[in-house]
């Protein structure tokens, strides 16, 4: 699509869309695919290359290359596969990447936007960001502007932190109200990640346009002499970390500067352009030879400082041992050393640590507790790093800090406490032979038969008992309790009248009648009629003795003395009656 003029509205929309397109790949957990233009500004008649790069993927293909009005699609290269290996702390990491080059030939002057290019990466559809660039018939302004890389390293090591400083400016005599950096590599730098933005720490910040659609904060260096010309200089300074070995390519970058006149629905530009040649930084693999086991992953130059919150403590008291690493190394990414695993710190117990990255330094505070009173210093804490200047692994050690540890009265130190604690172990073997087992358990037959018989017996017995009446009826209960009640009543009786009442109650309960029924009753006749004593001498005798007992009681009552009869005689007779007659 060719756009000769752009309204402010369209610019805002494009900026929003591109911002979204930039943000989404960061948020989503999608394969990393980058697209880089060979240049943000090209002269008419010169081709522009789009470098597609899919990192850490096994398979990938370009699904669709968009057609753009005003640009002729010249071709797309075959995929170029790349595989790299690196070793850190004995761990091997392998990265594979695939590259393509898409070439467009501009046929007209203007600003162009290449829509997202769709790729299929490991079975997943992903899109690149939009790419914009400008095609000019003539590029002017080389003599009026300034654009240069400052201290750009030729090679670095994987994991190393490096800075990209792009200094730019223009002749102070030039009227400039618009500056736009055309950096095709911005946000699409393969094999590297950007370190946290130090934008808020820039001393004299100035915002300039970046790639026509966003703004970036740069450092204002003021007016300075460059080659005999006084120039207004600015500097873009960003820090990156190399993530893997390979090449970091920085395509040709441009500065557009001049006057831009905003109108209602368009703008009028009178700008100049200056470019800086494309460069590449080689990222080398860390040497495996000589790599110490305790290598922290730190790469670069480091400086260490240390402090403690106090130097005189009792055994068991905490000391906050703070260690601060600064320098040009990758201070936010290395693994801080653990004193608990170092022999030199045997006299200490490490209770924890706080670890924070403060933008330009890394601070770790260890909570150390001396276990013994003979500890005299906090030993040097080493951090093994790869020094990129000497190209060797080296140890960055803290300075030992002398401390005084007082023993607590009667204390034996923390290690002593542990030693005197309960020690667990299994018991001794069993030496005494064990005697014979108990009796063998009952057989299955017994286990099944006994409950069955118990249940059957209960049913039979219950049925039989219920035929004679409910055993829980009041009369049945009174009958069962008659003898017991007689004994109790006789115990309380002092006269023949009392005994008479007790005996009649007994006879009534046993016969199922009221006690009064036995008053004046012909006893022998009743027994003959209801019990059947004919032919049974024993029974007849009992009946006769019962009748005699009742007569004797009545005689005693009516004779006037009302003297009680012998208790045993009544009880014995009652037992005989309970045994069979009643």
Partner 1 sequence: MRMLRHCLALCALFVAFASAAPQAELDRSALDAYRAEDFASASAWWLDALEAATGVDEQGEPLASAGERARLMANLGNCAARLDDWAGAAGWFEASLRLRPRDDDTREKLNFARGEAGWPPLDRGDLSSTTSRVLGAFTADEARWLALLGLLPLIVALAGEALRGGRAWRQASIASAVLWLIACGPCVHAAWNEDSDPMLVISPNGAAARPEPRESAERLERLPSGARFERLDELPGWTKLSGPEGRAVWVPSRDVFALER
Dmax (CA) of the chain = 165
Q: How far is the CB of 436 from partner 1 (least distance, A)?
A: 5
Contacting partner 1 (CB under 8 A), which of 200, 428, 520, 534? 428
Computed from CA positions of residues 539, 540, 545, 550, in that sequence, does the dihedral angle turn out positive or negative?
A: positive
Query: Which of 177, 183, 253, 247 lies closest to 213 in space, CA to CA?
Result: 183
Q: Where are the beta strands (DSSP E) in 263-400?
A: 267-276, 279-284, 295-299, 303-308, 312-314, 319-326, 348-357, 362-370, 377-378, 382-387, 392-397
What mask, x for binding partner 1 by CB under 8 A, covers residues 450 to 489?
xx--xx-xx--xx--x----xxx-----------------
Interface with partner 1 by CB under 8 A: which range of 87-95, 188-196, 375-383, 449-457?
A: 449-457
Contacting partner 1 (CB under 8 A), which of 343, 434, 467, 535? 434
Q: Which is nearer to partner 1, 90 or 427 (CB)?
A: 427
449 forms part of the interface with partner 1 (CB under 8 A): no
Q: Which is nearer to partner 1, 359 or 469 (CB)?
A: 469
The C-alpha atoms of residue 480 and residue 476 are separated, in whole angstroms, by 6
Contacting partner 1 (CB under 8 A), which of 389, 390, 420, 431? 431
Q: How far is the CB of 474 from partner 1 (least distance, A)?
A: 11
Q: Which is nearer to partner 1, 430 or 568 (CB)?
A: 430
- To 5 degrees, how large is the angle CA 116–CA 118–CA 121? 135
560 forms part of the interface with partner 1 (CB under 8 A): no
Long-range contacts of 440-446 (CB under 8 A, 24+ apart): none
Contacting partner 1 (CB under 8 A), which of 227, 290, 427, 579? 427
State CA 103 to chain mean position distance.
48
Contacting partner 1 (CB under 8 A), which of 227, 228, 410, 438? 438
154 forms part of the interface with partner 1 (CB under 8 A): no
The values of phi and psi at residue 365, to 5°, are: -110, 120
Interface with partner 1 by CB under 8 A: which range of 2-10, 34-42, 299-307, 435-443?
A: 435-443
Cα distances (angstroms) measured from residue 43 to each of 2, 39, 112, 255: 16, 10, 13, 14
Q: How far is the CB of 462 from partner 1 (least distance, A)?
A: 4
Q: Which is nearer to partner 1, 200 or 444 (CB)?
A: 444
10 forms part of the interface with partner 1 (CB under 8 A): no
> Helices 496-511 and 474-492, interaxial angle, to 10°?
160
Interface with partner 1 by CB under 8 A: which range of 189-197, 278-286, 436-444, 503-511?
A: 436-444
265 forms part of the interface with partner 1 (CB under 8 A): no
Contacting partner 1 (CB under 8 A), which of 390, 426, 491, 534? 426
Contacting partner 1 (CB under 8 A), which of 423, 424, 467, 535? 424
433 forms part of the interface with partner 1 (CB under 8 A): yes
H-only helix segments in 391-522: 413-420, 444-467, 474-492, 496-511
DSSP-based three-state secondary structure for 20: helix
User: Strand 91-106 relative to strand 80-88: parallel, antiparallel, unpaired?
Assistant: antiparallel
140: Cβ contacts below 8 Å, ≥ 6 apart:
272, 273
Q: Cβ atoms within 10 A of the Cβ of 47, count?
A: 15
Do residues 43 and 107 touch, judged by C-beta distance below 8 A? no
Among positions 111-140, residues that touch partner 1 (CB under 8 A) are: none
Interface with partner 1 by CB under 8 A: which range of 177-185, 299-307, 366-374, 433-441?
A: 433-441
Q: How far is the CB of 414 from partner 1 (least distance, A)?
A: 24
Size of the site for partner 1 (CB under 8 A): 32
What mask, x for binding partner 1 by CB under 8 A, covers residues 349 to 368?
--------------------
Q: How far is the CB of 477 from partner 1 (least distance, A)?
A: 9
Query: Which of 413, 318, 343, 403 lies closest to 372 in space, CA to CA?
Result: 413
The C-alpha atoms of residue 316 and residue 299 are separated, in whole angstroms, by 36
437 forms part of the interface with partner 1 (CB under 8 A): yes
The C-alpha atoms of residue 174 and residue 144 are separated, in whole angstroms, by 7
446 forms part of the interface with partner 1 (CB under 8 A): yes
Q: Which residues bind partner 1 (CB under 8 A)?
A: 424-431, 433-442, 446-447, 450-451, 454-455, 457-458, 461-462, 465, 470-472
């Amino acid at each position: 699509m060719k756009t000769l003029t752009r309204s402010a509205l369209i610019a805002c929309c494009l900026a929003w869309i591109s911002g979204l397109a930039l943000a989404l790949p960061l948020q989503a957990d999608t394969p990393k695919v980058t697209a880089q233009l060979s240049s943000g500004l090209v002269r008419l008649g010169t081709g522009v290359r789009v470098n597609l790069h899919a990192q850490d993927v096994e398979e990938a293909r370009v699904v669709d290359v968009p057609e753009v009005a005003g640009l002729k699609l010249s071709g797309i290269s075959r995929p170029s596969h790349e595989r790299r290996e690196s070793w850190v702390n004995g761990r091997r990491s392998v990265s594979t990447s695939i590259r393509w080059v898409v070439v467009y030939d501009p046929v007209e002057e203007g600003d162009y936007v290449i829509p997202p290019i769709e790729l299929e990466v490991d079975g997943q559809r992903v899109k690149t960001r939009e790419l914009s660039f400008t095609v000019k018939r003539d590029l002017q302004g080389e003599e009026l502007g300034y654009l240069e890389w400052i201290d750009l390293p030729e090679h670095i090591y994987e994991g190393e932190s490096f800075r990209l400083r792009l200094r730019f400016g223009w002749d102070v005599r030039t009227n400039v109200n618009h500056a736009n950096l055309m950096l095709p590599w911005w946000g699409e730098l393969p094999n590297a990640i950007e370190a946290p933005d130090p934008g808020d720490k820039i001393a004299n910040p100035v915002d300039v346009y970046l790639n026509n659609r966003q703004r970036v904060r740069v450092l204002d260096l003021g007016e300075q002499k460059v080659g005999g010309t006084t120039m207004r200089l600015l500097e873009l300074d960003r820090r990156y970390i190399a993530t893997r070995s390979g090449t970091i390519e920085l395509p040709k970058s441009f500065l557009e500067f001049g006057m831009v006149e905003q109108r209602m629905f368009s703008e009028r530009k009178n700008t100049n352009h200056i470019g800086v040649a494309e460069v590449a930084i080689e990222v080398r693999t860390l040497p495996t030879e000589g790599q110490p086991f305790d290598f922290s992953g730190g790469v670069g130059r480091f400086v260490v400082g240390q402090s403690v919150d106090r130097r005189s403590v009792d055994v068991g008291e905490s000391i906050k041992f703070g260690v601060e690493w600064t320098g040009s190394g990758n201070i936010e990414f290395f693994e801080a050393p653990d004193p608990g695993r170092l022999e030199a710190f045997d006299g200490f117990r490490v209770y924890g640590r706080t670890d924070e990255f403060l933008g330009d330094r890394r601070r770790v505070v260890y909570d150390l507790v001396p276990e013994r009173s003979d500890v005299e210093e906090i030993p040097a804490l080493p951090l093994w790093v790869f020094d990129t200047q000497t190209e060797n692994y080296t140890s960055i050690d803290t300075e030992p800090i002398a401390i005084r540890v007082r023993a607590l009265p009667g204390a034996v130190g923390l290690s002593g406490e542990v030693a005197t604690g309960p020690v667990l172990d299994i018991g001794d073997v069993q030496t005494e032979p064990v005697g014979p087992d108990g009796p063998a358990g009952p057989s299955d037959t017994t286990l099944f038969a006994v409950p069955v018989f118990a249940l059957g017996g209960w049913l039979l017995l219950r049925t039989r008992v219920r035929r004679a009446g409910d055993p829980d009826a009041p009369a049945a209960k009174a009958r069962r309790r008659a003898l017991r009640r007689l004994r109790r009543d006789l115990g309380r009786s002092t006269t023949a009248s009392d005994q008479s009442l007790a005996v009649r109650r007994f006879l009534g309960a046993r016969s199922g009648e009221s006690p009064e029924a036995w008053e004046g009753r012909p006893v022998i006749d009743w027994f003959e009629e209801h019990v059947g004593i004919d032919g049974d001498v024993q029974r007849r005798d009992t009946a006769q003795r019962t009748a005699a007992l009742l007569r004797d009681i009545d005689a005693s009552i009516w004779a006037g003395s009302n003297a009680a009869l012998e208790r045993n005689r009544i009880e014995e007779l009652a037992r005989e009656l309970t045994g069979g007659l009643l």
